[in-house]
Amino acid sequence: MFPPERVLFLDGEALVIDKPAGLAVHPGPATRESLENWLDDLRFGFRRRPAPVHRLDRDTSGCLLLARNPKALKRFAAAFEAGEVEKTYLAVLAAVPAARAGRIELPLAKVSSREQGWRMVVREDGKPAATGWELLAEAGGRALVRFRPETGRTHQIRVHAASGIGIPIAGDPVYGDGKGPMLLHAHTLRVARAGKAAIEATAPPPPAFVETGFGDGGL
């Protein structure tokens, strides 16, 4: 059974869950378990299973929006595509940046090799990507940062932290040293709706953040 405390928002057309780190949104050849295994638990009386509107990386925790019918799925997906969804992420960086805040604007492209697999890189001919950020707290030589992505590119925050700020997210297995869990968390989500109250959810920082000494500090 999907843990009920991880359901952050529920109404007739939308569902927001607090996805745990380590759970993939979509099944794949290297994925033993994914959100697909839990969709029956998330019907909440509906005959139809909900469908993820967007995705989070397997090792990223936090707010994930699901639609409870096809019309809602189409509307929510269009809102994401148009950049109308407000999102914030929390991340623990592997060191403390010199600046207190900033905006990163670096285009991203996907590359792949047999040796390293695929990853996103900063490249002039890539897709435009922009991320705002602010330093919230410092502890143990690391920094707690809030990110506000303005676009939704794959691995955007992870690459913008490593290449834009110059410090990778702690534990990032692709753009950092991969030591320990990757400390990236989708903290808040807001989707405006015509004629209805907005979808709003906040996922509390997971235990891995608390163990770093940050917890809710600076939020």
Active site residue ranges? 57
Helix (H, G, I), strand (E, B) or coil at 185: strand
Of 6, 13, 22, 28, give the one whose Cα is nearest residue 56: 22
Terminal alpha carbon distance of the chain = 31
Residue 190, burial from CB neighbour count under 10 angstroms (0-12, 13-18, 19+) = middle
The Cα–Cα gap between 109 and 73 comes to: 27
Of 130, 74, 138, give the one whose Cα is nearest residue 100: 138
Neighbouring residues of 15: CB distance < 8 A, sequence distance ≥ 6: 7, 9, 42, 44, 50, 65, 66, 67, 68
- Identify whether the C-beta of residue 147 lies closer than 8 Å to the C-beta of residue 131: yes
DSSP code of residue 50: P
Neighbouring residues of 66: CB distance < 8 A, sequence distance ≥ 6: 14, 15, 16, 17, 42, 50, 51, 52, 53
Helix (H, G, I), strand (E, B) or coil at 64: strand
